[in-house]
């Protein structure tokens, strides 16, 4: 058997292994999957995909299109299908990891081991049972790394073109993937220079990249047609949402660059940066049950000794991404390190491959305790299969609100109620105000105008500005807001 046939057989066996591992990982996800729409960004993502709307910056355009198609599956409700999409993406990512490591280490069990470790690590699993954008993003990253590996190994034009197409789709979906470009260029450009028809390949690849970037036109075109779901704009004093016009270059550039959250970029005081770095290392340590950190570092060293370019390329994806999100001051940023955990799992695979020859063969079975422990420990932490309450509370709030009322809520609560309106056609007369988009003074003016015009006003949380100026009476999973007499001390009932 010649080398090409041997390589083909290895890849074929690897793909069979990948499909098997994907199925095993998916079973755990299905057992813990949220049964309907979930809180935080999940409701927004599901509603935006369902209605071909415009979610928060930077858009996740490819994710919306693929999720919209997936939502046609005749399984559960739209919320459940959106959660299932995340589960399928993560399971396929685990399968890709198994293929890659099985072929590169020539040990199928190392591929299966690290695929299950990655898939059942807490931060992967917790994102795979609810609707989230990062699961697809990491699946595409895994596919891109696989294509670039094949491009470097074979110099075949189709791998360069496919890589460029995927690179463009990733950039349109989330421009923050531009942080990966230093590493991706290190992985791809040296082989382009070695190609005997480099300019032809470069031209074809550039064409594929530009073709993928055309997907960004969805945003200005959709914005011009007043979609039913838009999460980029502000509220006027009357409570009317005023969406930004993404058909203008200024607003589109601001939106794609994450301008909606730019005040949170590198927002930590200098004295807190060390704490955030330690927290990042702690998550990397804990996510892999302590074993991942030393194995990953050892894997980096072993891979560096045999392949400087690949090691440098992967590190130049991992490091810029980590630096940016370590400094990103949002409460859910641990979800944004998923690409880091994926690449680290690859390094762990090379670390295991280097350690195995030093251990007795009779102890090889003990490696299976690693994913087994993750499965047993994280099942209860990641199990949201009984989480109906978020959807139930959102529905109760809408159903018990007065006609044409105003309902103020923070991000998760507001988007759940908007999901009920857009997807399930419930209480479209209620004006839901996401307090994230309104300043304290703006919220005060909005409430006062609504009360002056005899509209009922509710809030999901007793916001400080509301406590300062109004009486809040507890009412059906929230508070009803009423005017307060001057100098009255009664604020919350």
What is the predicted pLDDT for the residue at 349?
96
Backbone angles phi, psi at 459, to 5 degrees: -140, 145
Where are the chain's structural domains? Answer: 3-226+238-382, 389-483
What tokens were used for 217?
Answer: 């036109």
What is the predicted pLDDT for the residue at 294?
95
Give the residue-averaged pLDDT of 141-157.
94
Cβ-proximal residues to 9 (8 Å cutoff; 6+ apart), any chain: 1
- Per residue in 154-207, pLDDT tens? 999 999 999 999 999 999 999 999 999 999 999 999 998 888 898 999 999 999
- 149, β-bridge pairs: none
Average pLDDT, the chain: 92
Q: Are 19 and 115 in contact (CB under 8 A)?
A: no
What is the predicted pLDDT for the residue at 2?
57
96, 320, 362, 378 from 371: Cα distances, Å: 17, 29, 19, 10
pLDDT > 90 in the chain, percent: 76
Q: Are 39 and 238 in contact (CB under 8 A)?
A: no
- Per residue in 109-138, pLDDT tens? 999 999 999 999 999 999 999 999 999 999
What is the predicted pLDDT for the residue at 490?
47
- The residue written with tokens 């009922």 in the block is 456
What is the predicted pLDDT for the residue at 13?
80
What is the predicted pLDDT for the residue at 142?
96
51, 246, 423 from 223: Cα distances, Å: 13, 6, 19
Cβ-proximal residues to 397 (8 Å cutoff; 6+ apart), any chain: 407, 413, 417, 458, 460, 476, 477, 478
Q: Are 18 and 371 in contact (CB under 8 A)?
A: no
pLDDT above 70 (res 489) = no
Give the residue-averaged pLDDT of 15-29.
93
pLDDT greater at residue 485 or residue 26: 26
**CA proximity to 418, closest of 68, 34, 48, 36:** 48
Q: Are 298 and 291 in contact (CB under 8 A)?
A: no
pLDDT > 70 in the chain, percent: 97
Euclidean distance between CA atoms 268 and 266, whole angstroms: 6
What is the predicted pLDDT for the residue at 432?
95
- Per residue in 316-355, pLDDT tens? 999 999 999 999 988 888 889 999 999 999 999 999 999 9
**CA proximity to 435, closest of 460, 408, 402:** 408
Report residue 3's pLDDT band, with 50, 70 and 90 as the boundaries. low
- Per residue in 276-325, pLDDT tens? 999 999 999 999 999 999 999 999 999 999 999 999 999 999 999 999 99
pLDDT above 70 (res 492) = no
Residue 361 DSSP SS3: helix
Give the residue-averaged pLDDT of 248-253.
92
Q: Are 465 and 435 in contact (CB under 8 A)?
A: no
pLDDT above 80 (res 14) = no
pLDDT above 70 (res 485) = no
pLDDT above 60 (res 1) = no
pLDDT above 90 (res 364) = no
Report residue 407's pLDDT band, with 50, 70 and 90 as the boundaries. very high
Report residue 65's pLDDT band, with 50, 70 and 90 as the boundaries. very high
């Amino acid at each position: 058997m010649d080398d090409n046939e041997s390589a083909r057989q290895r890849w074929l066996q690897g793909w069979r292994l990948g499909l098997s591992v994907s199925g095993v990982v998916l079973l755990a996800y299905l057992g813990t999957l949220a049964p309907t729409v979930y809180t935080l960004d999940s409701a927004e993502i599901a509603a935006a995909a369902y209605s071909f709307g415009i979610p928060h910056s930077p858009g996740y355009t490819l994710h919306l299109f693929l999720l919209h198609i997936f939502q046609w599956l005749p399984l559960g409700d739209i919320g459940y299908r959106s959660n299932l999409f995340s589960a399928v993406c993560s399971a396929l990512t685990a399968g890709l990891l198994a293929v890659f490591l099985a072929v590169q280490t020539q040990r199928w069990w190392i591929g299966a081991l690290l695929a299950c470790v990655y898939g059942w690590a807490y931060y992967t699993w917790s994102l795979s049972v609810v609707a989230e954008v990062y699961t697809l993003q990491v699946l595409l990253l895994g596919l891109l790394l696989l294509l670039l590996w094949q491009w470097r190994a074979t110099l075949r034009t189709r791998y360069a073109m496919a890589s460029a197409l995927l690179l463009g789709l990733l950039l349109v979906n989330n421009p923050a993937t531009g942080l990966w470009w230093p590493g991706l260029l290190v992985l791809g450009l040296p082989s382009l220079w070695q190609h005997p028809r480099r300019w032809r390949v470069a031209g074809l690849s550039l064409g594929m990249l530009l073709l993928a970037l055309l997907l960004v036109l969805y945003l200005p075109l959709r914005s011009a047609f007043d979609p039913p779901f838009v999460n980029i704009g502000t509220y006027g004093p009357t409570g009317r949402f005023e969406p930004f016009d993404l058909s203008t270059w200024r607003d589109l550039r601001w939106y794609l660059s994450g301008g909606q959250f730019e005040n949170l970029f590198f927002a930590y005081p200098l004295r807190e940066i060390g704490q955030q770095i330690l927290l990042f290392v702690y998550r990397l340590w804990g996510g892999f049950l302590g074993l991942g950190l030393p194995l990953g570092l050892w894997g980096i060293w072993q891979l560096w000794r045999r392949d400087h370019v690949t090691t440098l390329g992967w590190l130049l994806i991992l490091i810029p991404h980590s630096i940016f999100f370590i400094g990103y001051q949002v409460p859910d940023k641990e979800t944004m390190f998923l690409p880091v955990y994926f690449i680290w799992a690859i390094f762990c695979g090379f670390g295991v491959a280097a350690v195995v020859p030093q251990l007795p063969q009779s102890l090889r079975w003990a490696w299976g305790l690693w994913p087994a422990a993750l499965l047993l420990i994280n099942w209860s932490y990641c199990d949201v299969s009984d989480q109906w309450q978020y959807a139930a509370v959102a529905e109760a709030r809408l159903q018990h609100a007065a006609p044409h009322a105003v309902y103020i809520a923070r991000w998760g609560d507001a988007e759940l109620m908007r999901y009920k309106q857009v997807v399930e056609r419930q209480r479209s007369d209620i004006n839901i105000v996401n307090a994230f988009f309104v300043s304290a003074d703006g919220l005060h003016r909005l409430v006062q105008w609504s009360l002056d015009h005899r509209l009922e006003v509710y809030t999901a949380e007793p916001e400080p500005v509301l406590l300062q100026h109004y009486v809040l009476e507890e009412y059906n999973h929230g508070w009803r807001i009423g005017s307060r007499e001057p100098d009255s001390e009664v604020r919350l009932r």
